[in-house]
A and B are shown apart, each in its own frame.
Chain A
Amino acid sequence: MHGSSWGLGTSEGHPEERGSSFIIFFLLFLPLCFLCLPVVAREAPLEFNLEAFDMPGDGGGSIGLRWQFPPLAQLDHPSSYVYRIFMSAQQDGEWRQLAEFPTNTYYESEVSSPWWVWGAKSPARHFFQIKSNSDLQLANGKLYFFKVVLTDGQHTVASVVASAVPQANLFNWAKLNNLVFMLAFSATVLLWIRRARRNPHIFLRRIPGLDAVEEAVGRATEMGRPILYLTGSGELGGSGDPSNLSTIAATIILGEVAKRTASYGAALQIPHRAAIVMAICQEIVKEAYLAAGRPDTYKEDMNFFITADQFAYTAAVDGIMLRERPAANFFMGYYYAESLLLAETGATTGAIQIAGTDAEHQLPFFIAACDYTLIGEELYAASAYLSREPTLVGPLRSQDIGKGFLLVAMVLGSLLMTIGELLGTPVLRTALEIFSDFK
């Protein structure tokens, strides 16, 4: 195994170069690696086996040093000894001391680097990293020499000189798992969008909140009272607006509600804050009435504009609720502080209230004041379910796959971790590093 190269004291087999081939290697022979762990120095007395190498996966300017514990017990007062790290630009000239530390610090086992980059971390080795800083500049591509000295002030034992070249790396192997997950998830998303295009009827469960629509409309018809539908405070004006997704979802669900009111013959009122959203809703409602076969009952003034102003709009809608006493209120889309005032007034009029939002700060209030609330992603799912739009259905499906994968990973991972703990072996913990984040 590569254990033999550790004693060479040169820069040859540094982890970065070995990276790619060793990934496959380790995946297959992981258990074997651990059998090789106890490689403690048994050879010559006070041999450090110092090794210097370019630190893997960085932009350069950094060198790693590792060496085995010398048998300290041979010394007279082991605890009085310290390590000193020296560096030089020439093989045999001008040594500069970089650091001094006690012999019970800087272990290799403390290194946070995954097994597919670092291999097995021996508990019998020290590790020290030298980095460029304002005092010290390590130039990429230049050869540097290092030695480690063990000393108690009077006696000194020096290691052989090791050398290495800092390099700017092209790939951060520690991020390999991140890249693999990213590629896998991207592929899943694109694949399922394609599948949804071919077959838009991929199974999606019905969102229970949508059943409430039926009942709410029925009740309104019975009582002869209108239904009030709000699309929230989203604008649909430009890019990057967090409220876009939920506002679009709100307009899609409006289509479903309008189909029901058309076939039952209930009145529908949709007060607006944003002109663009209103224009879109007019189209959607008109289409819904057409689809329900009741274009005659469609009225242009079902959608009406109040004002863009937050509190004036809220006061006006509250006024409508108190005067007309709608049988059902729908609050879909994105909401700010107005949610409280709207839901409160609606609750006091005794209307059935159905809310749906991804505005996390408003969710608790809606849940407490409404009869049914679509929580966050449920709102998107409801719109995908109703619209069957491939670009909504596909990602929803792929997100489910992602969630399923992570869920299984978490459950199995925790079980394996527990078993590892019971058996007292670090192997399983190390293997689970594929679900960890490394820098």
Chain B
Amino acid sequence: MVFWKRTLPVAITFMLGITFMLQYYVPHPASEALLREVSVWNQIIAGFAVILGVASLLQSHAQKIKRKAPGWGYSVVMYASMCSMLGFGIWSEGKGEGTAFGWLYTYTLVPLQATMFSLLAFFVASAAYRAFRARSPQATVLLLAAVLVMWGRVPLGEYLLPGIGQVSDWIMNIPNTAAQRGILIGISLGAIATSIKIICGIERAHLGGGQE
């Protein structure tokens, strides 16, 4: 059983990992056809992965309803709105224009999600007033750069202080680019190292799930 549960998955990852790592260097049509086919396969599997992600959320809400945990009524609302969206969606074959499915999307999902995120505007403002203090030289530099960029990126700022727009452009293009490039190189080395660990079976967090 250890073979099926541990050895086989590690072997599959290793073989595919090496194959597709080397595929990159091989321009031969056969190798390109392999990449084409597998990328289509992965798209299909990704579709199932979406279901997997959704299902675990549904499970936790189902348990809440079953146990009649506090606020279980909201979970019922969640299920009801999901089912109506799904029902209309299947009925209209996923087409949005002129269907009930499209209406639900435009007048519930779009305003709700956009409004949820716009709450952050208020939170940023109150945090700016109550928490963002220049508590060290570094934080001071951060806040000064923030003020320059906020000032320079709006018409009123450029109207009040001509030339500040170019200053904020320069901040974005030189010091910001330098720092982001350093971060990017560091992160990419980390990501490559992680991929190597996964291919070699050293990193196996993804193989959790199910008892040993």
Q: Do A and B bind each other?
A: yes
* Interface contact A399-B193, CB-CB below 8 Å: yes
| Chain B residue contacts of A403, Cβ below 8 A | 185-186, 189
Residues of A within 8 A of B124 (CB): 340, 365
- Closest Cβ of chain A to B26, distance in Å, is 6
Q: How far is the CB of B98 from chain A (nearest CB, A)?
A: 34
Segment touching B, from A122-130, A235-243, A257-265, A421-429? A235-243
Interface residues as binary, A207-238 with B (CB distance below 8 Å gives 1, 0 otherwise): 00000000000000000000000000000011
Also in contact, A364 and B200, with CB within 8 A (given A168-B29, A337-B123): no
Contact between B194 and A395 (Cβ–Cβ < 8 Å)?
yes
Chain A residue, CB-CB nearest to B119: A337
Contact A172:B26 (CB < 8 A) given known A337-B120, A395-B193, A399-B189: yes
Q: Are A368 and B133 in contact (CB under 8 A)?
A: yes
Q: Are A364 and B123 in contact (CB under 8 A)?
A: no
A348 to B56, CA, bound (A): 37
Instruction: List, in ascending order, chain B residues with CB within 8 A of A347's CB.
Output: 130-131, 133
Q: Which of B32, B196, B205 contacts A189 (CB 8 A)?
A: B196
Among residues of B, the one whose C-beta sits closest to the C-beta of A56 is: B27
A238 B206 Cβ-Cβ under 8 A:
yes
CB of B34 closer than 8 Å to a CB of A = no
A59 and B33 CA atoms in complex are apart in Å by: 11
Q: Which residues of A contact B21 (CB under 8 A)?
A: 182
Contact B187 A391 (CB under 8 A): no
Contact A368 to B143, CB < 8 A, known contacts A59-B27, A168-B29? yes
Using a CB-CB cutoff of 8 Å, which residues 367-402 of chain A contact chain B?
367-369, 371, 376-377, 380, 391, 395, 398-399, 402
Kindly list 18 other residue pairs between chains A and B, CB separation below 8 angstroms, not including A344-B126, A391-B197.
Answer: A59-B28, A59-B29, A169-B28, A172-B27, A178-B25, A237-B56, A239-B206, A244-B205, A337-B119, A344-B130, A344-B131, A346-B131, A347-B133, A365-B124, A365-B132, A367-B142, A368-B131, A395-B190
> Could you tell me which A residues sit within 8 Å of B by CB distance?
57-60, 140, 168-172, 175, 178-179, 182, 185-186, 189-190, 193, 237-240, 244-245, 308, 337, 340-341, 343-344, 346-348, 360, 364-365, 367-369, 371, 376-377, 380, 391, 395, 398-399, 402-403, 406
